[in-house]
Amino acid sequence: MSRAGRKVLVIAVCAVSLAVCCGLAWWQWQRFESANGTFQNLGYVLQWPLFGVAPAYMFWRMRRLRDREAAKPPQPSGAAGESEPDDELAAYNRYLARLDADQETR
29-78 pLDDT, tens digit per residue, is: 999 999 888 899 999 999 999 999 999 999 999 999 999 998 988 876 65
Cα separation, 84 vs 86, whole angstroms: 6
Cα separation, 54 vs 14, whole angstroms: 8
CB 31 within 8 A of CB 41: yes
Contacts of 51 by beta carbon, 8 Å cutoff, 6+ apart? 17, 21
pLDDT tens track for 91-105: 999 999 999 998 888
Which residue from 48, 50, 55, 14 is spatially nearest to 28, judged by alpha carbons?
48
Mean pLDDT score of the chain: 89
- pLDDT of the residue at 91: 92
Model confidence at 3, pLDDT cuts 50, 70, 90, reads confident
- pLDDT of the residue at 10: 92
* Total residue length of the chain: 106
Backbone angles phi, psi at 84, to 5 degrees: -85, 135
Contacts of 17 by beta carbon, 8 Å cutoff, 6+ apart? 51, 52, 54, 55, 56
Give the residue, 16 or 75, on which the prediction is more confident.
Answer: 16
- pLDDT of the residue at 76: 66
